[in-house]
Amino acid sequence: MPMNLTTVAKKLRENSSDVERLLWRHLKAKQLHGLKFRRQEQVGGYIVDFICYEKRIIIEADGGQHALETEKDEVRTQWLRSQGFSVFRFWNNEVLTNLDGVLEAISTQCNQTGDDPPLPDPLPPGERGDS
């Protein structure tokens, strides 16, 4: 019997990778601009590594398996974007060798994202400016 995504997310939180634990140490407890991040959170039919609902930002730490799953990742990213989220991916190696640069990139994105979340795509008729 397959597990539901809530159970899967809980197991992922309990068994985080070294890279996820490292990144989480810097995102948890509102350390980044006072923003609340969650980890291994269910969004629709997906589980994302880190999410800030306030800024509508998703952070993904990708291991080598993602190099083989580019099409699958693109479908996932497009769906998340259609829900109004910005998705930022970092390779695990990048997090390990350039943590300060990764945190700076995340910080920059958090500062650039406005207080109002982006509207999901596609926009409903009449809101596209094509009345």
Query: Does residue 118 fall inside a structural domain?
Result: no
With CA atoms as reference, report the closest residue to 22 among 86, 85, 92: 92
9-64 residue pLDDT tens = 888 878 788 999 999 999 999 999 899 999 999 999 999 999 999 999 999 998 75
Give CA–CA dist 80/48, Å, rounded. Answer: 10
Residue 28 belongs to domain with CATH number: 3.40.960.10
For the full predicted model, state whether its pTM sits above 0.95: no
DSSP per residue over 2-29, as a string?
PPPHHHHHHHHHHT--HHHHHHHHHHGG
Split into its structural domains, the chain has a count of 1
Query: Does residue 126 fall inside a structural domain?
Result: no
